[in-house]
C-alpha cells in the first residue's frame, strides 16, 4: 500500500506544480483584478463588468456550436479510419500513421493561412484550375472544415490504438453465436472502444473551443465570433485587461467541465476490460478485396488533410514573390537561402524546439501515466478532481495559461525560479499538453483487467514493478501515440511561447512568427517546411526504432 501512496503523492504534486498552480493564479487574477501589481484590493469588482457584456451569451453559444460541429465532423472522419487501421491489415499502415500526424505538426495559424492561399480568389487553386472556393472557405463551414482536418489525428490515433488493443476476439465470439458482421461491430467492437472515442472527442472539444486563429481568420468577416475572440482582444487592445481575459477563460473552463462530466457519464458503469491475459490473436484481419478501396480512402483523406495545406506552404516557400504566383520564372530558393544565411539562429531555434518537444513528451508521458493510473486503478479519494484537473489546461488559451505561469513563478519569494529560462517553456508545454497522455492512458488503462496486476502482485512484484513490467508495456501503443502528439505540438507551440520566451531564447515558432511579422511570408513558410520535414523524419526514425525494439522483446 505504501508504494501506492507514493505514486498518488507523486501524481498529486506533479499536477499541483504543473497545472493547479498556474491555473490557480488565473482564478485569483479573475477574482482580484490588481493581483499582478501584488495587491488584493477590490475583489470581484471585475466580474460584473466583464460578465455584463451583452454579446457574451451569443459568443458562448457560438463557441458551443463550433465545438459541437468540430467534434461531430472529427468523429465522422476519425472513427471509421481509426477502426480500419486498428482492426484490419491496411496496406501501408505505418505510412498513413505518419502522414496523419503531419497536420498536427503544422501550427494552426499556418495551416489556416495555407488554406486561405490555396482557396481564396486568385489563390493557388484558381491559378491551377481556374476555380476558387472563397465564399465556402470564409464561412462557419470553412472554419469547421479546416479545424476538423487539424484535429482528426487525435481521434484517429485514440480509436485505432483502442480498437487494436481490444481486438476482434469478442466480436468473433459474437459471430460464432450467430451475429452478423455489422451487428457484432455495433454491439460489441464499437462499445468496447468507447473509452478511447470519448477521451479523444473530449480533447477535440477542448481544442475547438480554445482555438483562436482559425475562426478569426476565416469567419470574422462573415460575422461569426467566439469567446476566445474576446480573450484575444483583451490582450491586443490597449489597455491590456488581464482580469477580464481570466474571467472569460473561466467560462471556457466551465464549458469543458460540462463536456468532461458528459464523457464520464457516457463511459461510466460498464466494463471495458478486454486485455485480461487470455491468449488472443492480436493480428489484424486481412481485408481481402477491400484492400484497395480502403487504401484509396486513406489516400483521399491524407491528400486533403495533409498534402493540400503542405502544397500551399511549399508553393509559397519556393516562390520568389507572392504576387508572382505559380510561374516557372517565379521559382526560387531565395527564402531557403535567407534562412541558411541566418544559419546559426535558425538551427539554434530548431534545436531548442526539438529539445523542448522531446522533454515535454517525456515529462508528460511519465506524469500522464501516473495520473491516469491513480485515477483508474487506485481507490484514492478525490481522484475525480485529479482527472478533471488534467483536462483543464487544454481548454484555456495558451496566452492565459502563460499569464498564470508568469504570476505563479515571477514572485519575489521564490528562492529560485524557472521563469526567464527555458524551464518556463517546458513547464508551459507540459501544462498545456498533459491532457493528451492522461486521456490516452486513461482510456487504455480501462481496457486492462485488474487481474493482470493482481497476478503480478501475488507473485511478489511490488506496485512499481507491476506498473513497469505489466501495465507500461500494455499501455505502450496508446502512450506512444499520445507522446508523439505532444512532441508534435510542443515543437511548434506559438502563443504561450510568444509570451513566455526567456530573453534571448528563440524557438522555431517564434522564428517563423518573426518572419511573418516582418512581412516575409515566403521565409516563414520555408522555415515551416523545413521544420515539418525534420520533425516528420525524427518521428519516423523513432517509430521504426520502437517497432524494432518491440519486435525483439516479443
Residues of span 118-137 touching other proteins by CB under 8 A: 120-123, 134
SS3 sequence, 461-522?
Answer: CCHHHHHHHHHHHHHHHHHHHHHHHHHHHHCCCCHHHHHHCCCCCCCHHHHHHHHHHCCCHH
In terms of CB distance, is 53 or 283 closer to other proteins?
Answer: 53
Separation between Cα atoms, residue 201 and residue 70, nearest integer Å = 9
The yes or no reply on residue 283 touching other proteins (CB under 8 A) is no
Closest CA to 313 of 115, 152, 144: 115
Q: Which of 1, 504, 551, 553 binds other proteins (CB under 8 A)?
A: 504
The yes or no reply on residue 239 touching other proteins (CB under 8 A) is yes
Separation between Cα atoms, residue 238 and residue 246, nearest integer Å = 16
**Which one of the spans 114-122, 290-298, 474-482, 485-493 is the region binding other proteins (CB under 8 A)?**
114-122
Q: Which of 188, 242, 484, 508 binds other proteins (CB under 8 A)?
A: 242
**Which one of the spans 40-48, 169-177, 202-210, 227-235 is the region binding other proteins (CB under 8 A)?**
227-235
Strands (E), 170-324: none
Restricted to residues 310-329, the positions that interact with other proteins (CB under 8 A) are 320-325
Q: Which three cell numbers stand for residue 151?
A: 484535429
Q: Which three cell numbers stand for residue 70?
A: 468540430
Handedness of CA 550, 545, 308, 212 (dihedral sign): positive
The yes or no reply on residue 503 touching other proteins (CB under 8 A) is yes
Provide, rounded to whole angstroms, the least separation between the CB of residue 546 and other proteins. Answer: 21
Separation between Cα atoms, residue 157 and residue 257, nearest integer Å = 23
Q: Which of 71, 147, 231, 399 binds other proteins (CB under 8 A)?
A: 399
CA distances from 357 to 180, 281, 427, 432, 502 (A): 46, 35, 12, 12, 16
Cβ–Cβ under 8 Å, residues 189 and 160? no
Q: Which three cell numbers stand for residue 551?
A: 519486435
Provide, rounded to whole angstroms, the least separation between the CB of residue 422 and other proteins. Answer: 6
The stretches of 88-168 forming alpha helices (DSSP H) are 93-105, 108-119, 124-129, 134-137, 140-166
Please give the torsion angle defined by the CA atoms of residues 198, 199, 200 and 204, in that order, rounded to the nearest 10 degrees: 90
Provide, rounded to whole angstroms, the least separation between the CB of residue 281 and other proteins. Answer: 35
Provide, rounded to whole angstroms, the least separation between the CB of residue 206 and other proteins. Answer: 23
Q: Interface mask (CB under 8 A) for other proteins, residues 68-87, using x and -?
A: --------------------
Restricted to residues 187-226, the positions that interact with other proteins (CB under 8 A) are 216-217, 220-221, 223, 225
Restricted to residues 331-390, the positions that interact with other proteins (CB under 8 A) are 359, 363, 366-367, 370
In terms of CB distance, is 256 or 499 closer to other proteins?
Answer: 499
In terms of CB distance, is 174 or 309 closer to other proteins?
Answer: 309
In terms of CB distance, is 380 or 420 closer to other proteins?
Answer: 420
The yes or no reply on residue 59 touching other proteins (CB under 8 A) is yes
Restricted to residues 414-443, the positions that interact with other proteins (CB under 8 A) are 416-424, 426-427
In terms of CB distance, is 85 or 492 closer to other proteins?
Answer: 492
The yes or no reply on residue 407 touching other proteins (CB under 8 A) is yes
Provide, rounded to whole angstroms, the least separation between the CB of residue 475 and other proteins. Answer: 15
The yes or no reply on residue 16 touching other proteins (CB under 8 A) is no
**Which one of the spans 95-103, 113-121, 185-193, 261-269 is the region binding other proteins (CB under 8 A)?**
113-121
Closest CA to 159 of 102, 93, 77, 98: 77
Separation between Cα atoms, residue 363 and residue 429, nearest integer Å = 10
The yes or no reply on residue 95 touching other proteins (CB under 8 A) is no
Separation between Cα atoms, residue 455 and residue 471, nearest integer Å = 12
Which residues are within 8 A (CB) of 382 and not within 5 positions of it... i.e. 6 or more apart?
none
Restricted to residues 134-163, the positions that interact with other proteins (CB under 8 A) are 134
Q: Which of 3, 40, 51, 55 binds other proteins (CB under 8 A)?
A: 55
Provide, rounded to whole angstroms, the least separation between the CB of residue 215 and other proteins. Answer: 11
The radius of gyration of the chain's CA atoms, rounded to the nearest angstrom, is: 24
Cβ–Cβ under 8 Å, residues 103 and 109? no
Provide, rounded to whole angstroms, the least separation between the CB of residue 226 and other proteins. Answer: 9
Provide, rounded to whole angstroms, the least separation between the CB of residue 363 and other proteins. Answer: 6
Q: Kindly report the number of other CB atoms within 10 A of residue 252's CB atom.
A: 24
In terms of CB distance, is 65 or 175 closer to other proteins?
Answer: 65
Q: Which of 4, 14, 206, 442 binds other proteins (CB under 8 A)?
A: 14
The yes or no reply on residue 63 touching other proteins (CB under 8 A) is no
Closest CA to 539 of 93, 82, 105, 83: 105
DSSP state of 32: -
Q: Which of 412, 459, 551, 552 binds other proteins (CB under 8 A)?
A: 412
What number of chain residues touch other proteins (CB under 8 A)?
80
The yes or no reply on residue 259 touching other proteins (CB under 8 A) is no
Provide, rounded to whole angstroms, the least separation between the CB of residue 328 and other proteins. Answer: 16
Amino acid at each position: 500500500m505504501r508504494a501506492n501512496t507514493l505514486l498518488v503523492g507523486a501524481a498529486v504534486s506533479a499536477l499541483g506544480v504543473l497545472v493547479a498552480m498556474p491555473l490557480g493564479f488565473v482564478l485569483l487574477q479573475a477574482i482580484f483584478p490588481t493581483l499582478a501589481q501584488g495587491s488584493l484590493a477590490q475583489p470581484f469588482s471585475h466580474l460584473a463588468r466583464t460578465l455584463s457584456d451583452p454579446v457574451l451569451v451569443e459568443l458562448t453559444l457560438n463557441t458551443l456550436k463550433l465545438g459541437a460541429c468540430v467534434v461531430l465532423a472529427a468523429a465522422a472522419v476519425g472513427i471509421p479510419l481509426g477502426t480500419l487501421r486498428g482492426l484490419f491489415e491496411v496496406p501501408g499502415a505505418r505510412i498513413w500513421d505518419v502522414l496523419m500526424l503531419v497536420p498536427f505538426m503544422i501550427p494552426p495559424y499556418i495551416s489556416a493561412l495555407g488554406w486561405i492561399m490555396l482557396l481564396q480568389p486568385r489563390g493557388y487553386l484558381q491559378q491551377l484550375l481556374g476555380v476558387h472556393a472563397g465564399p465556402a472557405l470564409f464561412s462557419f463551414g470553412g472554419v469547421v472544415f479546416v479545424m476538423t482536418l487539424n484535429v482528426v489525428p487525435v481521434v484517429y490515433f485514440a480509436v485505432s490504438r483502442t480498437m487494436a488493443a481490444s481486438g476482434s476476439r469478442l466480436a468473433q465470439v459474437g459471430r460464432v453465436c450467430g451475429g452478423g458482421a455489422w451487428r457484432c461491430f455495433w454491439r460489441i467492437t464499437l462499445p468496447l472502444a468507447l473509452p478511447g472515442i470519448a477521451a479523444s472527442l473530449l480533447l477535440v472539444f477542448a481544442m475547438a473551443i480554445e482555438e483562436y486563429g482559425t475562426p478569426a481568420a476565416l469567419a470574422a468577416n462573415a460575422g461569426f465570433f467566439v469567446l476566445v475572440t474576446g480573450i484575444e482582444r483583451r490582450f491586443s487592445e490597449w489597455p491590456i485587461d488581464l482580469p477580464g481575459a481570466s474571467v472569460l477563460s473561466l467560462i471556457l473552463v466551465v464549458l469543458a467541465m460540462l463536456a468532461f462530466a458528459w464523457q464520464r457519464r457516457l463511459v461510466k458503469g460498464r466494463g471495458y476490460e478486454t486485455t485480461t491475459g487470455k491468449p488472443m490473436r492480436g493480428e489484424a484481419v486481412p481485408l481481402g478485396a477491400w484492400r484497395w478501396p480502403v487504401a484509396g480512402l486513406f489516400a483521399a483523406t491524407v491528400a486533403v488533410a495533409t498534402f493540400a495545406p503542405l502544397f500551399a506552404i511549399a508553393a509559397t516557400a519556393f516562390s520568389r514573390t507572392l504576387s508572382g504566383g505559380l510561374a516557372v520564372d517565379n521559382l526560387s530558393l531565395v527564402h531557403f537561402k535567407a534562412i541558411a544565411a541566418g544559419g546559426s539562429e535558425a538551427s539554434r531555434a530548431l534545436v531548442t524546439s526539438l529539445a523542448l518537444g522531446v522533454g515535454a513528451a517525456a515529462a508528460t508521458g511519465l506524469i500522464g501515466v501516473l495520473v491516469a493510473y491513480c485515477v483508474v486503478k487506485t481507490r484514492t479519494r478525490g481522484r475525480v478532481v485529479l482527472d478533471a484537473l488534467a483536462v483543464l489546461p487544454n481548454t484555456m488559451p495558451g496566452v492565459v495559461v502563460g499569464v498564470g505561469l508568469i504570476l505563479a513563478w515571477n514572485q519575489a519569494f521564490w528562492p529560485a525560479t524557472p521563469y526567464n529560462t527555458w524551464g518556463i517553456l517546458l513547464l508551459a508545454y507540459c501544462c498545456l499538453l498533459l491532457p493528451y497522455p492522461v486521456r490516452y492512458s486513461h482510456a487504455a488503462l480501462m481496457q486492462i483487467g485488474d487481474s493482470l496486476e493482481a497476478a503480478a502482485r501475488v507473485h511478489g512484484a511490488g506496485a512499481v514493478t507491476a506498473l513497469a513490467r505489466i501495465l507500461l508495456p500494455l499501455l505502450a501503443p496508446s502512450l506512444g501515440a499520445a507522446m508523439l502528439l505532444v512532441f508534435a505540438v510542443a515543437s511548434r507551440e506559438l502563443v504561450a511561447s510568444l509570451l513566455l520566451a526567456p530573453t534571448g531564447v528563440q524557438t522555431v515558432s517564434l522564428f517563423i512568427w518573426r518572419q511573418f511579422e516582418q512581412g516575409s511570408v515566403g521565409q516563414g513558410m520555408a522555415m515551416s517546411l523545413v521544420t515539418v520535414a525534420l520533425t516528420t523524419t525524427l518521428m519516423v526514425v523513432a517509430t521504426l526504432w520502437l517497432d524494432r525494439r518491440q519486435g525483439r522483446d516479443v
